[in-house]
Structure 1
Amino acid sequence: MDSLKISDSEWEIMKVIWQNPNCTAGEVIDALKDKKEWQPKTVKTLIRRLVDKKALGYEQYKREYKYYPLVEEGDCVKEESKSFLQRVYRGSLKNMLLNFIEDESLTKEDIEELTRILEERK
């Protein structure tokens, strides 16, 4: 995947379309109306940007456009994770993990799961 840069607002649009492929702009607007106070024009602008970035494709049915993802959600999450890791931790996974482990309150189950995963990686 060619390092696709998706803004936070565009992520909101993509989440809706990943969950409801082949939906219309109106359906995206309806799905987001309780979460975001965006005008319909804002949603349509974000959709257009995602089409321009080749993150979304569309098919026209009469006067209606149905949008579908051209990128997999998992691929975008991986790319965003790599970007975050590089920006915030200079690419050091170890430093990021240490920061989260030291700052977050982990349950006994969390610690056991992390230990199991690390043991499997050895």
Structure 2
Amino acid sequence: MVNIPKISEAEWEVMKVIWNNSPCSANYVIENLESKMDWKPKTIKTLISRLVKKEVLAFEIEGRSYNYYPLVKKEDCIKEESKSFLHRVFNGVTKDMVLNFIEDDDLTDEDIEDLKKILEKRK
């Protein structure tokens, strides 16, 4: 897997828009985040610039517009973030994390059956 740089929570919001609508312009990202996040356009452009510097995003110039596209897959970023969370919060112990979520969540019978199937496949 490619070395995935650390992405901040705010940068994640930008990436979600771009992953779902790639390639897209900065204006498109701004339109999608400005009211949702109560951010100014300059803030969003700064986040985009940071992601380009981190080599998570790249762009193509089309006329006067920059169209941004991801250089990393959403799935790879999720895996990396999950590993980081697991080590940071649960000292890398997957069982502790899973137990925490299962004990704190209201699971339906269907959820429980799905979890059983997943665990059976892992045996």
TM-score range, shorter chain: over 0.9
Which residue pairs with 2:18 in the alignment?
17
Tell me the TM-score normalised to structure 1 length: 0.96
Q: Is the 8 A contact 2:34 2:41 kept in 1?
A: no
| Secondary structure, aligned partner of 1:119 | helix
Which residue pairs with 1:32 in the alignment?
33
Tell me the TM-score normalised to structure 2 length: 0.96
Any idea what the Cα deviations from partners look like across 1:41-73, whole Å, max 9, x if unmatched? 000000000000000000112221110000000
How is 1:1-122 mapped onto 2 (pairs within 5 angstroms)? 1-122=2-123
After alignment, is 82-91 or 25-34 more displaced? 25-34
Unaligned runs of 5+ in 1: none
Identity across the alignment (%):
59
Distance 2:35 2:111 in 1: 33
- Hey, which bits of structure 1, 4+ residues long, moved more than 6 A? none
Unaligned runs of 5+ in 2: none
State how many pairs are aligned.
122
- Report the CA distance between 1:105 and its aligned residue: 1.2
